[in-house]
Amino acid sequence: MKKSAQIRETLENASALATQRNGLPQLLRNLLRNLLRNQASVKEGSPAKERSAWGDAWGEPCYDADFMCIYFKNMAWIKDPEFVRAYTKGMDSGHKMGRPKGSQKDIHIEWRVHMILWAAQHAMQLEGDFVECGVNTGILSLAVCDYLNFEKLADRKFWLFDTFRGIPEDQMAASERAHAIGANETSYEECYELAVRNFAPYPNAMLVRGKVPESFANVDIQRVAYLSIDMNIAKPEVDAMEFFWDKLVKGAPVVFDDYGWAHSGEQYDALNAFARSRGVKIATLPTGHQTLIFGPPGFSVGHSAEMQSNCPAKDWRRRLPKWRRRPNPLFCRRLPRRGAASAAKVTALCSEEPDFGPTRKSDEPFSYAASDLG
Ligand SMILES: C[S@@+](CC[C@H](N)C(=O)[O-])C[C@H]1O[C@@H](n2cnc3c(N)ncnc32)[C@H](O)[C@@H]1O
């Protein structure tokens, strides 16, 4: 047997051990998963660092978080008060990714949020709804809602798809099981009620509980200006792309949270195959994890001058300097006051609770695996 085949076989055996609930104790399984992830992230062919060519310019990293170490870049964006407010809103959503339940620790995913806010701001110039598949407690989408004052955008909806209880085991490919089951155990739990509370200030945020793609059957979405996909496994992500591709308006950004991670090879391959089939390419950003493609080239739904002029949310605001782009109450349509009762208004379009397999029990020891953040 060739050495590479032997290594693959050993990794597959280890992966099987790491996923068997009745096999090793939880802590050992987590250790094994981390080892496997590290193995997955050792890539051949990464270019050598040619620091010497740039003299002393490197200095100290200006951003060293979320598995990125960045040097010598303009970091002004990270201090922008609007960014800070939106970021904090998402980070305080009560999630337990990269931190134990109840912890308020900042998991420092600023650059991801920066990219998602940029994409969402771009989408404001297009006609159509916003969509996120893989919402959990809403770090990214709450940040977007806050940044854009989404509650004031009466002509748009923000569709938020999730099981709100973790990744369905029956959709996991063999190579994804170790990571995805680990993420279900450490990072996701029943969080629907929490999400309803989090999004209550945004009456146009539509929580759709259920398994993607089945849950798409319950909605009527015509045009999409912004699509964020973050479900951590390949199958529903490709299903979502199949479903939304023809609904994306020209120039709509699609942001994948996981595509560029070293351990997300299944998503990388599957999404590349999808992109190829539609004649586009996905950019792997230097930030590594969040990655963009833009809506169908030449596809023009929602982009005509007539439709543009029908989009009251943006026109007057786009002409203003940035500091004045916050909606002025004098110009905005009046919306009903929000209160405790509005939580009930958040639409639960698919309320049945299919069995997605067991979630982590709260008494099990917590062990944070680095790549649960993906
Ligand atoms: C990494 S989390 C999403 C994090 C979220 N984007 C945020 O900003 O906080 C992945 C989510 O995908 C959801 N998910 C995975 N597969 C799914 C599927 N087939 N249908 C619906 N939700 C799914 C999980 O329940 C989990 O909440």
Q: If you measure from the C-alpha of residue 303 to the centroid of ligand 1, how many angstroms do you get, rounded to a whole number?
A: 30
Residue closest by Cα to atom 24 of ligand 1: 166
Q: If you measure from the C-alpha of residue 204 to the centroid of ligand 1, how many angstroms do you get, rounded to a whole number?
A: 20
* Residue 4, strand partner residues: none
Sequence-ordered list of residues with C-beta below 8 angstroms from that of 42, at least 6 positions apart, any chain? none
Q: DSSP letters along 121-166, please?
A: HHHTTS-SEEEEE--TT-HHHHHHHHHHTGGG-TT--EEEEE-SS-
Q: If you measure from the C-alpha of residue 167 to the centroid of ligand 1, how many angstroms do you get, rounded to a whole number?
A: 7
* Residue 291, strand partner residues: 256, 284
Answer yes or no: is the C-beta of 203 below 6 A from any ligand 1 atom: no
Q: If you measure from the C-alpha of residue 116 to the centroid of ligand 1, how many angstroms do you get, rounded to a whole number?
A: 16
- Strands (E) in 7-162, as ranges, are 61-65, 68-71, 129-133, 158-162
Residue to substitute in 230, 235, 259, 372 for testing ligand 1 pocket (most ligand atoms within 8 angstroms of CB): 230
Please count the other Cβ atoms lying within 10 Å of the Cβ belonging to residue 163: 25
Answer yes or no: is the C-beta of 347 below 6 A from any ligand 1 atom: no
Q: What is the DSSP letter of 304?
A: S
Q: If you measure from the C-alpha of residue 188 to the centroid of ligand 1, how many angstroms do you get, rounded to a whole number?
A: 8
Judge contact between 188 and 136, C-beta under 8 A: yes
Q: CB-based burial of residue 176 (10 Å sphere; 0-12 exposed, 13-18 middle, 19+ buried)?
A: buried
Residue 285: per-residue pLDDT = 83
Q: If you measure from the C-alpha of residue 163 to the centroid of ligand 1, how many angstroms do you get, rounded to a whole number?
A: 7
Residue 302: per-residue pLDDT = 35
Residue 100: per-residue pLDDT = 85
Answer yes or no: is the C-beta of 291 below 6 A from any ligand 1 atom: no
Answer yes or no: is the C-beta of 179 below 6 A from any ligand 1 atom: no
Q: If you measure from the C-alpha of residue 168 to the centroid of ligand 1, how many angstroms do you get, rounded to a whole number?
A: 10
Each residue of 243-272: b (16+ CB within 10 Å) or e? bbbebbbbbbbbbbbbbbbbbbebbbebbe
Q: What's this model's pTM, rounded to 2 decimal places?
A: 0.74
Answer yes or no: is the C-beta of 212 below 6 A from any ligand 1 atom: yes
Residue 35: per-residue pLDDT = 63
Q: If you measure from the C-alpha of residue 263 to the centroid of ligand 1, how many angstroms do you get, rounded to a whole number?
A: 17
Answer yes or no: is the C-beta of 135 below 6 A from any ligand 1 atom: yes
Residue 369: per-residue pLDDT = 36
Residue 293: per-residue pLDDT = 82
Quote the radius of gyration of the chain (alpha carbons, Å): 21
Q: Which two tokens stand for residue 25?
A: 């104790």
Closest atom, ligand 1, to C-alpha of 138: 9
Q: If you measure from the C-alpha of residue 231 to the centroid of ligand 1, how many angstroms do you get, rounded to a whole number?
A: 4
Sequence-ordered list of residues with C-beta below 8 angstroms from that of 189, at least 6 positions apart, any chain? 96, 101, 165, 166, 359, 360, 362
Closest atom, ligand 1, to C-alpha of 236: 19
Residue 165: per-residue pLDDT = 97
Identify the segments of the chain with pLDDT beneath 70: 1-8, 11-12, 15, 18-23, 26-27, 29-55, 286-289, 296-374
Q: If you measure from the C-alpha of residue 151 to the centroid of ligand 1, how many angstroms do you get, rounded to a whole number?
A: 23
| All CATH 3.40.50.150 domain ranges in the chain, comma separated | 76-294
Assigned CATH class of 76-294: alpha beta
Closest atom, ligand 1, to C-alpha of 142: 8
Answer yes or no: is the C-beta of 231 below 6 A from any ligand 1 atom: yes
Residue 306: per-residue pLDDT = 36
* Residue 228, strand partner residues: 132, 255
Answer yes or no: is the C-beta of 289 below 6 A from any ligand 1 atom: no
Is beta strand 224-229 parallel, antiparallel or unpaired with respect to 253-256? Answer: parallel
